[in-house]
Structure 1
Amino acid sequence: MATLSSFVPNIVFVLVLILVLGIIVPRVEARPRAFFVFGDSLVDNGNNNYLHTNARADSPPYGIDYPTHRPTGRFSNGFNIADLISQRIGAKSTLPYLSPQLKGYNLLIGANFASAGIGILNDTGAQFMNVTRMHTQLDYFKAYQRRMTALIGATRTKRLVNQALFLMTVGGNDFVNNYYLVPSSARSRQYSLPQYVKLLICEYRKHLQRLYNLGARRVLVTGSGPLGCAPAELAGHGRNGHCSPKLQLGAALYNPQLVKMLQGLNRKLGRDIFIAANTAQMHKDFVTHPRAYGFVTSKVACCGQGPYNGVGVCRTFSNLCPNRNLYAFWDQFHPSEKANRIIVHRIMSGSTRYMKPMNLSTILALDATT
């Protein structure tokens, strides 16, 4: 007959299992939903730091207003829109996929795959040499899922991915750093602007379909901003402070077709998977009426040199404004952290003028009930 003492080790073992399975696992599942970020320099949070590329933001004064006051690889004086969305959903900022710190339970937060300089097309940003193009970002996401499966199992990995939030921000470079990079680019000789926009939409649809096939079920997709109004374009292609009409036309053709494509994908899939963020209008609000949003200018970058501080990249020798909150643009192309906060506010609570078919607050409320 078994004695009481013989049951003690077994009881202890069972209690340990209960603690592990009954406490640790629910805590993991009670974390904020995972967040995955794909795209270009608007959302890159340091992946290019690990690449041999000249598309980098790893030197001062980048990061001057980040909590560490040091450059992180973000093309911002502080947080970018991906960071600010993480904050709004109650999560830590995702780590760059290429960061050696992205391992173990850090993987549960999600991952950022974005790489400055890339576009929808593989040849966009070729001048930046080694960058992580969109098809490779999606390959990395597939590899991420294998790593997660080894950590928590296939079933829980599938659930984590299906319940996650995704952000896709890409497209501007296909105009700025491809079609209009030089007066007679290879793509502009190959395609008229309307044909080129159709090509972009077609290729983008393939990327988004693949992302869905990899498990994405809630994807925020941003349009391009007012491309011709960035300080670099005012300096290079604008006239008397007016936005570049060529780049503005590209954005005007592209953004409505992007929304139409996303709506078509949703109809095909039978669910509101893809959410269109009208970042063109979000930017236009404060570019057109900067003082209404607390900016002294939306034409001059805080950091840079030349006309509008729009010539070349932001470096330690550049002109630097003392108060970044007064500038809509941080550098020649990228919004300041304050401008990013305005954009994320619209993503969270904007009307259908900004978010179609719904804003992120509505998404979070709906998903909390399912």
Structure 2
Amino acid sequence: MSIFNIFWVINIISLQVFLANSYCTKSLVPALYVFGDSTVDAGNNNNLNTNAKVNTFPYGIDFNNVSTGRFSNGKTFADIIAIKLGLPMPPPYLGVSTTERYQIASGINYASGSCGILNSTRNGECLSLDQQIEYFTSTVINDLPRNFRSKTKLRHYLSKSIFLLSIGANDYMLNYLKQEIITNKSGNPEEFADYLLDQLSSSIKKIYELGGRKFVVIGVGPIGCIPGFIIRKPNFQDCNEDVNQKVKPFTNKLPMKIQVLKSQLSGSLFTIMDTFEFFKEIRNSPEKFGFTNTWDSCVGEGGKPCENRRQYYFYDSAHSTEATSEIYANKCFSGTHLCFPLNIEQLAHTH
């Protein structure tokens, strides 16, 4: 990264800290806390020893042409949701100095590219979901109390904040499916989904115990339809349905698991996003959503991005463009069928 770009990254983080510290009552919720993988990583991996970092061109070309570490040409789903809630985009936890973290009262992003729900899921160094929650624990115990005069006010703040989790895809791409290739054995997809959901539930319970009550949980999408997995033949391309069928049990079982969790955690509220069916809707009528290409990566050979980025669903071989994130965020925030049983706007207003 050039000195010029480093300067702008520092300024963006400083601006986010300032905005967070200037939090006012115009926002729909006090804060947005983000946990997850590269779908919502805002730059945590920049500070880790891993190849899964994107703090260089062509990433960030539509984020003031600054490669902040987001796996996109621009803003992520979490960034856009924060803006819709009236909040500044949550800065990456590892991108803010320990002396500044206490100043942030509008939420922090703990997400880390290449990590998953399981500690064994990773490609190089990354922040596992357990590690992300450990950092959030430090935020609740060491940083936030400096902004609140009483534990009661802190509990109220946490209970009104939103906790977004976008994680699980890497547990398939870098773990389950990878092990199948190595061992040439097909594990039971139903059992693996149950195991993942049990671990995810345990993580949500930890956030609940720390004070969280409002959760947005994003299901794993059709991995077999991303450019890195699709089947390509001369004059023909299609999703890898073998991969999709291995992933689908996670999405199918997620609503019931959340329902059980809701019954166990008094006062908890959940929004679930099912990307499987909505992706099919986009793929069947791409022009309806402004897309001309839902199969290929916008970034071509030599790392050159396409010029018509708003017409591409995918930015690289695994991640979506800002245009795609905007569609999902808009539908999930105020729509009626992508996110259920509450959209995010309803979740924000529900007490």
TM-score range with shorter-chain normalisation? 0.7 to 0.9
Report Cα offsets for 1:297-319 as digits up to 9, x if no partner. 100110144xxxxxxxxxxx224
Identify unmatched segments of 5+ residues in structure 2. Answer: 1-20
- Note the alpha carbon deviations across 1:23-47, whole angstroms, 9 max, x for none: x999589795111000000000000
5 Å-filtered alignment, 1:1-370, equals 32-66=29-63, 68-100=64-96, 103=100, 106-125=103-122, 128-145=123-140, 146-155=142-151, 156-181=153-178, 183-185=180-182, 189=185, 191-234=187-230, 240-305=236-301, 317-351=302-336, 353-367=337-351
The C-alpha deviation readout for 1:222-257, integer Å capped at 9, x for no partner, is 001111100111168999411111221123211010
Identity of aligned residues (%): 28
Residue identity matched to 2:333: M
Equivalent position amino acid for 2:298 in 1: C
Distance in 2, Cα, partners of 1:201 & 1:300: 31
The structure with higher relative contact order (CA 8 Å, sep 6+) is 2
Segment of structure 1 superposing worse, 245-254 or 90-99 = 245-254
- AA aligned to 2:54 is A
Cα offset for 1:199?
A: 1.2
Aligned alpha-carbon RMSD (Å): 2.6
Query: Which segment drifts farther, 151-160 or 331-340?
Result: 151-160
CA distance in 1, matches of 2:243, 2:325: 21
| 1:64 shift after superposition | 0.3
- What's the secondary structure of 2:228's corresponding residue? helix
Contact persistence 1:291–1:297 (CA under 8 A): no
Aligned with 1:162: secondary structure? helix
Distance 1:97 1:181 in 2: 29
**Structure 1 range deviating more: 339-348 or 251-260:** 251-260
Gap change, CA 1:323 and 1:239, over 3 Å in 2:
closer
Q: Quick check: 1:282–1:346 contact (8 Å CA) kept in 2?
A: no
Q: Deviations over 1:198-235 (max 9, x none)?
A: 11111111111111111110000000111110011116
Moved more, 284-293 or 328-337: 284-293
Tell me the alpha carbon deviations over residues 278-337 of structure 1, each in whole angstroms, 9 at most, x when there is no partner.
1222333223321221111100110144xxxxxxxxxxx224211100101111111110
Q: Which amino acid aligns with 1:212?
A: Y
Q: Which is further off, 170-179 or 280-289?
A: 280-289
Which structure 1 segments of 5+ residues have no match?
A: 1-23, 306-316
**Structure whose alpha-carbon radius of gyration is higher:** 1
Q: Tell me, in whole angstroms, the C-alpha distance in 2 between the residues paired with 1:362 and 1:258.
A: 20
* DSSP-derived class of the 2:133 partner: helix
Contact 1:178 1:185 in 2 (8 A): no
